[in-house]
Every structure is written in structure tokens, then in C-alpha cells.
Structure 1
Amino acid sequence: MKKWLKRIGLTIVVLLLVLIGYVAVFEFPKLELISGFSAKSLASGHFIDNRSVEQVAAEDNDIDLVRLANLTLNESSKTAVADVFGFKRRTALYRPGLGAMLIDDTFDQKAPYLAPKRVQPELTAPYPYGNGEAEPVKFENIDYERLQKAVDWAFDKPGEKQQRSRAVLVLYKDKLIAEKYAPGFDKNSKILGWSMTKSITATYYGILEKQGKLKISDPAPVAAWKQDERKAITLADLLHMNSGLEWEENYSEISDATRMLFQSRDMTRVQAEKPLTGKINSSFNYSSGTSNLLSGIIRQQFNSHQEYLDYWYSALIDRIGMYSMLVETDMSGNYVGSSYGWATARDWAKFGLLYLRKGNWNGDRLFDESWYNFVRTPTNGSNGKYGGHFWLNAGGRYPAAPSDLFSCNGYQGQMVTIIPSKDLVIVRMGLTEEGVFDFNYLFGEISKAIK
């Protein structure tokens, strides 16, 4: 009997050691992702949109495992700190004009830094071309009852937590025809667009090309590629996400994407260091690293860091009156063009309207129609679902909506949707992805409300 009990005890010890070893090797490193996400989310949510610690914890950080993080906010140092049971502590620092960023132990929080110099003349015209109140308007060809029913459907009833929309806004023929917000949010609330920021980043290539400063057909100016086969990768290949470069976009594991967003000091370099694993211009592979590489290439177009910082606002964001928008930077002062753009739903809609009007903002042409056509051209290998840093409906992703629909998409169901055939822009901000939230129904019903 004693021998048998001894064997059982030994087996239990071995199993425990195996379990501890597994956790140490495979799970413990993930705690840094949890604490990094949590600290960054709190610093950005609080200092950009004035959300409380409680609101961020209950809503923005209401994700499996992320809920484990312990959060601390320091108003005086403008920092947020998170850890998981005391392990893997991470700090996020907020700086005016640059937003919040995760920092490491070597980062000097007191060092001087550059911030964008923004010029924002008063825009008194009615929304959307100005920042005044939207003019009330009634169109005879709109079924307003069906439209409002679709918008209302996107939101939870009291006590529910299924749809989790924060904002839905609809523009038709340059007019605001529907707008609704969840409790705690309104037209002034700044909401993170996540990967919708990729479409913002790409737009600078259309603007720079119109200004004669580059051609997207040219090879990407990456010094490390000049001596190998990567030298054949063009800017267009990067914009179409079919460069053939290695990349793993996985947010539930330690991956290229999570290492970049939560550990890298310079996010623009991560993708550039990857080898070719696919055929150039034939291997669609969605990559946040590519978008940040493109941000770094934009920086190369200027003689100074200050010019780069200013250009993002003067050439696009403030130029079309998106005064609420803030694009956050990494520790090296690069805009995180993959993920970290904040704006109100109304300002996100302005960006959609710019594309609905093919780059012509109320008489001011930002990019040529050729760029508009480029972003809507399906990427080789994407089965009609992706273009030039925009998602497409050419492959029938939303069968209830028109096939010419194209959109900026972000994590947790952020979307700016442009439907040229219906003269529509639809913005939806929230906390639920496709599969939980029925975007096909929303876009289909709103489209069908336009006769």
C-alpha cells in the first residue's frame, strides 16, 4: 500500500512539474501581452477620452485573460501601470500631442520631445464639411423608419451585452441622416479605430504621389533590401499586403504582431527585417508590420522629424477638419500607422466621405482618382476581399450590401464603410467582431432604406 501511495505521489509531482514547466515556457510570457494591452488601453482611454479606470476595466479591457490585469493610474506622471498577479509589469506613458505609448525600463520619461504643430482654423460651416451643427434634412427617397430600425438594432437594450455598439452614424449625399451613441458616449467621444488607422496611413501615399514626391510603382526604399531579392518589392506591393514577406498576425499568442506592438521601440523596422516566404505581388498576407513600415517610409520623405510629425495633420487630418483625431507614436517617435488612431465617430465619417468623393474635399483635391481606383483594386491572392489598405466587398463578404462597398476595418468591429452606388458612408464603432455582430444585416438594411 505504501509503495502504491508513493507511486501516486511521485506521479503527481511529475505532473505538477510538467504543468509548471508548460506554464513557464508557453503561458508566462503571455502575461506581458496582457499587462501591456491593459496599461496602454488605460493610458490612452483616460488621457485621450477622459474615461475612468473603472470604465476602461469594465469595457475596453473586458476581454478573456485581459481581465486578470491589475491597473494603476498616476495623474501627475500621466502613466498607467498594469501587472498580472504582480508579474510582467508594464507602464504606458501619455504625452500631449503624441498620445500614450508603452515604454521600457530604459526610456527617459523626462527627456524633451517633439510634438506635431497643428493648425486648426475655425470651421463654422455645418457638419460634415465644417464642425458646426448638421443641417436637418429630409430626403423623399429614404425609408426613415427602416433606417432608424437598423440603427437601433445595432445597440443593446438596457441590461444586455451582446451588440456592444458605441456609435453608429450614417451620411447620405453629404448629409447626416442618422446618428446614435451608447450610454457614456456622444459626438465628442474619441474612439480608437485600431486597424482603421491603416487606411489613414495608406492615404498619405496617395497624397504624396499627387504632390509628385513618390510613385507607388517604385521599389520600396528600404536599404536592407538593396542587396537581395526583396529589392523588387514595390510600395504598391506593401500597400496591397502582398509583398511576400514573412509575418504572423496573431493576437492570442506571442507573434510578430504582438512583439511589435508590445515590445518594440521602433515599430517601423520589424517588418523590414523579415525574409521573403512568398511570391511578391501574389501572396496576400495581412500585416500590421507592413503598415508601420509604410509609416517609416513616409518619415524618410522629410528632412526632419518635426516635418514628419506635422505632415500627418497638415496634409490630411486637419486639412479635412478631423480635429479630434490623434495618431499615437512609438518610443522612437514614429506614428503607429497600423493601429493607434483615435477620433470621434463624426471625424471618422469625414474620412469615409473623402473617399466617397474620390479625394475631393469640398473643392480641395487631396489625391487623384487613380489612387481611389488603386485602393479599390483587389489584391492578388485575396479573393476580392482586400485592396490597397482597404477591405472590399468584391468577393461577396456582405451579400446583403452592394458589391462596390469598401471599408476601413479595425479590431472589435470598428468600421468606416463607403458605398458609392448608394452615396453612403456608414460608421460603426464598438466592442464586437464580425461573427458576433451582424455587419451584413446592418449594411444591408441601411442600404435598402435608400430607395
Structure 2
Amino acid sequence: MKLFKRILLVIILIIAVVVYLNYPKLNIISGYAAKYMGSSITIGQHSSDYIIKNDLAMPLIEMADTEYDSTTKTATASVYGLMTRKAINRQGLGSVLVNSDYVEGTPYLQPERNLNQVNLPYPYGHLPAKDSVFENIDYDQLQKAVALPFGNAAVQRTRTLVVLYKGHLIHESYSDGFTKETPVLGWSMTKSVLATCFGILEHQGKIKTEWAAPITEWEKDERKAITINHLLRMQSGLEWNEDYSGISDVTKMLFLESDMTKAQRIQKAIAKPTEIWNYSSGTTNLLSGILRQQFRAHQDYLNFPYEALIDKVGAHSMLIEADLEGNFVGSSYGWANTRDWARLGQLYLNKGEWNGEQLFDESWVNYITTPTVHSQGIYGAHFWLNAEGKFPDVPSDLYSMNGFQGQYVFMIPSKDLVVVRTGLAEEPDFDINGFLANLIKAIE
């Protein structure tokens, strides 16, 4: 009995130490679980059982006990009964974590959408895609190539795949639980969408990337030298820790902050602009706040990404979630079905032209694909690059929208290709170079 008591005491002490060391993380863990559950049900169209079994089955996050109330459309999560977090649904704005200051039933604005159907074949409209056959495509090789992302499903975990060639749909595949209508969370692919809004404003003559960032707090210190261009290129010199493994700048912003535009704004400068390249989700949300400043009314800000870009190209499934203060979370929370993600890629291959209308200037594509200093050729302006051959068997003109867990929109201008792949695994588990090289081989 004495031995049993001693063993029990040791176990209790171990549990106490583990809880003590991880207690601050519990808020982040339960926040992630509640937020993801709420969004994945109301936007992603999945069941709670599916989400728990698949999306939330990841280190630390799987510790959370997560539930969804379909009547109130709220998700709650806690870890061993501690740090309970709740996410509510707001029509048109997605799911959002609430805090103790939140008043139930607080009114909010939502984007006004134009969901008109365009009588053109996909991707330029909403009619069925043309059944196109190209003489230069080796269709046997194509089938082998598009099967690669779905091979070894337990490792690669690919969910959806869409391939456009010369503006025609030549392939699409979906794993169980996904269809051409299923919205997928793009995570940081949303950064490229947010950046595109600045390209549109610049084309409209309403903003210039070389302008100083309009941040009042920076006007009397060294941060006044930071421009919108520096922010778009992640070279502002501001301090930021983009670490998702624990408590960091980015996890505190996404799962604790009501106003995510402030997280980067309050950071100190650790270098002069252009001296370092530091990837920062806080920078994108700061840009979302700067975008909001360009409009007199909050409603105009909420409408702009949709009326000027998203609904303009017919990507009606897309939704960018907002924080509790009504700011678009441009760093992380854009949803769309795979076909609609591909529409945005095709817009870029078209250098901003869509059905006869120029949404952003052709020069914008050159701008966002110009390598940023100190990025080793992998980053432009909120887009990822292959400028220095990170993917050795893929053309160097490839550029892409990238997101956590392997969300990608690849644009390869020299091959007239747009490729969208979504899933739950990224490099090295998902072999980007091998897949794209084999795909390109099919059209050469």
C-alpha cells in the first residue's frame, strides 16, 4: 500500500509539473480548436466528428475537448476542463473567438456580395468547363502526374487538386469528403489575396506602394521610414516571431487578440527597412488595417475585396474571416473551394485582366514576382517564388500562394499552368518538385 501511494504521488507530481509547464499554452490550444471547429463546420461544411478525427488530430491540439452547438452555431473547447474558449459565427464574417468583454448579440456589419452567375464556361464564368483536348498533352502522362499527390495518402494527405492549362480545366481530383463545391481554408494563401487588394487600389490611383505606412505611432521614431512596399515584402525590420509550436507573436495574435491589426504595429524596429527579411503574419494583418484606413466607412472596407476582386472573378465561395473588431484576418483565414482558388491563379496568369476588364496593372505581376532582398529568391511581395531554383525541375518563373499544411496555388506563366493543391501535409511529405515536374512533362 505504501508503494502504491508513493507511485500515485509521483504520478500526481508529474501531472502537476506537465500542467504547470503547459498551462499558458492551453489558452492557445483551446482557442485553435474552437476557432477551427467553428469555421470548418459553418464554412467548410464538415461534421464535428470528421474535424476531430482529421483536422484536429495534431500534436497538442488533440488534447482539446471540442464541441459544437448547431443551434447557436458556437464551438467550445477546453483542455482537461481548463481554459475554455468559445467561437461564435457571424454571417459573412465567419467564426471568431470571443473574450470575456464580448456582449452576446453585439451588432455587426457584413460584406455585401454580388453573386451573379456569369454565362461563360469555367473558369471565366459559372457554366460547366469546356471538354477541351490539347494535341500537345500526353494524357497518359497527365494521369500519372495527377495521381502522384494522392499516392501514399497517409503521408501526403492531399485533399483536392485542380489543374488549369491555357485557361481550361484539364483535371480535378477530390479525396473523400471533398467536392468541387467544398470550401477549403487557404491559411496563408490569404496573404496573397490581401496583397492583391493593394494592387487594385494602386491601379485605381488611390495608393502607392512607396508611400510611408500611415501609422501614427511610427511618425516620431525610426519606424517612420517603413513603406507599404516594405510591409508587402516582409522587410520592414520590425520584430516578430512566427513560431506556431508555442506561445509566440503569431499564436497570441491569432488566438488571443480581438484586433489583430495591432500586433505588428506595436513591435519595435530591430533593423532598418530592407536590412532583413522576416516572414510575419502580423505584417499582413497590419496591412489589413491600413487597407481599412483607405475607406471612410467600415462597410466600404468590408465590401472592397469582394466587389473589386473576389466576386469580380466569380469566386463566390470565397470568404475572408474577420477578427472581433471587424478587420479581415488577411494573414490566415481565407476560405474558397478549389476551383475558386484557381480562378485567382488564372487572374494572375492573365496579368490582371478578367473578361475584358483590367483589375490590376500588368506591372503589378512584375512587382510581386521580383525577389525580395535577403529572401534567397523565395519571396516577392506576399507571393512565394522559384527565382533561384528551390524546385530544380520546375521553371524559375513559377510563383505561388502558399498556406499552412500544404495549401498551394502555383502559377507557371511559361507553361500556361495554374495548379491548386490543398491538403494536410507540406514539404517534404508532399513532393512539390516531383509532382510539378511530372505534370509539366505531360504538356511538353
Q: TM-score, normalised by structure 1?
A: 0.95
Is 1:94 matched with 2:113? no
Is 1:336 matched with 2:363? no
Report the secondary structure of 1:123's partner residue: coil
Give 1:281 shift: 1.4
Match for residue 384 of structure 2?
A: 391
Match for residue 284 of structure 1?
A: 277
Q: Distance in 1 between matches of 2:261 and 2:197?
A: 16
Q: Distance in 1 between matches of 2:77 and 2:413?
A: 44
CA deviation map 1:224-279 (0-9, x unaligned): 00000100000000000000000000001100000000000100011000000123
Alignment partner of 2:441 out of 441, 445, 448 = 448
Count of equivalent residues = 441
Alignment partner of 2:398 out of 402, 405, 427 = 405
Q: Distance in 2 between matches of 1:375 and 1:360?
A: 16
Q: Distance in 2 between matches of 1:396 and 1:264?
A: 38
Aligned residue identity for 1:131? H
Aligned residue identity for 2:108? Y
Give 1:123 shift: 1.3
Report the secondary structure of 1:71's partner residue: strand
Match for residue 120 of structure 2?
A: 125
In structure 2, stretches of 5+ residues that fail to align are none
Match for residue 140 of structure 1?
A: 135
- After superposition, residues 166-181 of structure 1 pair within 5 angstroms as 166-181=159-174
- After superposition, residues 196-215 of structure 1 pair within 5 angstroms as 196-215=189-208
CA deviation map 1:333-370 (0-9, x unaligned): 00000000000000000000011111111211011122
Is 1:189 matched with 2:182? yes
Give 1:188 shift: 0.3
Contact 1:78 1:95 in 2 (8 A): no
Report the secondary structure of 2:67's partner residue: strand
CA deviation map 1:269-321 (0-9, x unaligned): 11000000123112100000000000000000001111100111001000111
Q: Distance in 2 between matches of 1:58 and 1:131?
A: 34
Q: Distance in 2 between matches of 1:67 and 1:270?
A: 27
| Percent identity of equivalent pairs | 51
Give 1:20 shift: 3.8
Q: Distance in 2 between matches of 1:449 and 1:125?
A: 27
Q: Distance in 2 between matches of 1:19 and 1:76?
A: 36
In structure 1, stretches of 5+ residues that fail to align are none
Aligned residue identity for 2:390? R
Report the secondary structure of 1:308's partner residue: helix
Aligned residue identity for 1:293? L
Report the secondary structure of 1:154's partner residue: helix
Alignment partner of 1:67 out of 56, 62, 67 = 62
Give 1:19 shift: 7.8
Match for residue 353 of structure 2?
A: 360
Contact 1:204 1:316 in 2 (8 A): yes
Match for residue 43 of structure 1?
A: 38
Alignment partner of 1:427 out of 420, 427, 434 = 420
Q: 1:361 to 1:254 in 2, by over 3 A?
A: same
Report the secondary structure of 2:235's partner residue: coil
Alignment partner of 1:414 out of 386, 398, 407 = 407
Match for residue 220 of structure 1?
A: 213
Give 1:392 shift: 0.2
Match for residue 33 of structure 1?
A: 28
Contact 2:117 2:314 in 1 (8 A): no
Q: Distance in 2 between matches of 1:20 and 1:340?
A: 35
Q: Distance in 2 between matches of 1:269 and 1:134?
A: 43
Contact 2:156 2:426 in 1 (8 A): no
**RMSD after superposition:** 1.8
CA deviation map 1:91-133 (0-9, x unaligned): 1111110100111121123111100111122212110000111
Q: Distance in 1 between matches of 2:15 and 2:66?
A: 28
Contact 1:249 1:257 in 2 (8 A): yes
Q: Distance in 2 between matches of 1:397 and 1:16?
A: 49
Report the secondary structure of 1:137's partner residue: coil
Report the secondary structure of 2:86's partner residue: strand
Aligned residue identity for 1:231? K
CA deviation map 1:55-81 (0-9, x unaligned): 111111121121121111111211000
Q: Distance in 2 between matches of 1:125 and 1:433?
A: 34
Q: Distance in 2 between matches of 1:70 and 1:13?
A: 26
Give 1:18 shift: 8.7
Alignment partner of 1:255 out of 248, 256, 267 = 248
Greater Cα offset, 115-124 or 422-431: 115-124
Contact 1:192 1:341 in 2 (8 A): yes
Report the secondary structure of 1:141's partner residue: coil
Q: Distance in 1 between matches of 2:129 and 2:393?
A: 29
Aligned residue identity for 1:402? P
Report the secondary structure of 1:202's partner residue: helix
Contact 2:244 2:251 in 1 (8 A): yes
Q: TM-score, normalised by structure 2?
A: 0.96
